[in-house]
Amino acid sequence: MTKIKDQNILITGGANGIGKMLGEKSLKEGAAHLVIWDINQENLDKTVEEFKAKGFDNVSPYIVDIANTEEIEAQAAKVLSDVGTIDILYNNAGVVVGKQFYEHSARDIDKTIQINVLGVMHTTRVFLPAMINKGAGHVINIASAAGLTPNPKMSVYAASKWAVLGWSESLRIEMERIGKDFHVTTVTPSYINTGMFDGVKAPLITPILDPHDVTDQIISGVKNNEILLRAPLSVNLLPILRGILPTRVFDFVGGNLFGIYDTMADFLGRPKEEALPEKESDKKTAKA
C-alpha cells in the first residue's frame, strides 16, 4: 500500500477543481509537504491562504505553464532543491476545447496536446530519476473515459487522453520491472462537476460525478495501489462493448441508446476568464 502520511506530494493544476481537493485531502492524510503547480497566480494565492487558514503551512506554490517544457524543467529543479524528492505525483492539469475538429485553430490543437500529453510526460520525466534513486514512488495520471470511446466535439481531447492511457500503462510496466515500490495509477473518470465541462449532458447510466466522491475514490485508489480507476462503475462497460461489438453496432448502442455522442452538444466549459491565457504573440497574430 502507498502511504500518504509523511510523503512529499506534487499536484499539477492543483489550485482548482479536483487538483485542489486532492491537495487538501492529502494534507488531511498527513502529507509531509504539498507542492502545487498551477498557471493561475490568483488561484494559487487563494488556495494557499485557504489551506493556511485550516492549519496547513506545509504548502509550496509554483507558477508553472505545463505547456512549456523548459519551464517544467526549471521549476522541477527548484522543487527538488527546496522540497526534495517527490514521492507522489499527480498529473492532473488538463484543458478541453469542445469544438468540432474543423473549428479548431492550430493553437487549440497544439495547446491541448502540449498540456494534456507532453506536459504529463515531461513532468513525470523530470521527477522520476529522484524516485528511482530513492527506490519508491507513485505516479497518478488523470486521464478520462474520453480515452475509451470516440465522441463528437472531443476529437483532440479524446486523442490526448488515449495517448495518456497508453503511455501511463506502458510506464507502469516499466516501473514495476524496476522495483515493487513503484506504482502508476491511471484514472479514467466520466464528466466531473468542476466547471471544466459545464453544459455537458450526462449519458444514460453515467451520471455527472461529484468531485468530492471522485477525489475520495482517487485517494483510496492511491493508498491501495490500484492500477486502473474508472468512475463511475458503468465506465467499465466501454472497453468491453467496444471490444465485442462491431463498430456500427457500438455507434448505435453508444450514440443512440446511451447518448454518449450527444453529451457535448451544449458544451460551455469554464468562463473565458478562467481559460488558459493567450500569449502576446498569439494576440498579435489574431489582430493581424
10-residue averages of pLDDT along the chain (288 residues): 95 97 98 98 97 97 98 98 98 96 97 98 98 97 95 96 98 94 97 93 91 97 97 93 96 92 90 44 32
Rounded CA separation 186/261 (Å): 24
Question: Which of these, 108, 94, 71, 107, lies nearest to 281 by C-alpha position?
Answer: 107
pLDDT for res 271: 66
Task: Identify whether 145 is part of a domain.
Answer: yes
Task: Identify whether 147 is part of a domain.
Answer: yes
CATH number at residue 44: 3.40.50.720
Query: 192: helix, coil or strand?
Result: strand
Count how many domains the chain has.
1
**What pTM was estimated for this model as a whole?**
0.91
Task: Identify whether 213 is part of a domain.
Answer: yes
Rounded CA separation 146/51 (Å): 32
Q: Collect contacts of 79-82 with beta carbons under 8 A, ≥24 apart.
A: 79/10, 79/35, 80/127, 80/130
Range of the domain at 116: 8-287
| Catalytic annotation, residues | 157
Task: Identify whether 268 is part of a domain.
Answer: yes
Task: Identify whether 1 is part of a domain.
Answer: no
Question: Which of these, 60, 56, 154, lies nearest to 112 by C-alpha position?
Answer: 154
Task: Identify whether 40 is part of a domain.
Answer: yes
Question: Which of these, 271, 22, 9, 31, lies nearest to 142 by C-alpha position?
Answer: 22
Which cell goes with 104? 479548431
Which cell goes with 160? 490526448
Task: Identify whether 3 is part of a domain.
Answer: no
* Paired strand residues for 188: 230
Task: Identify whether 193 is part of a domain.
Answer: yes
How far are the Cα atoms of 9, 121, 193, 234 from residue 43, in angstroms, in the given order? Answer: 19, 24, 18, 33
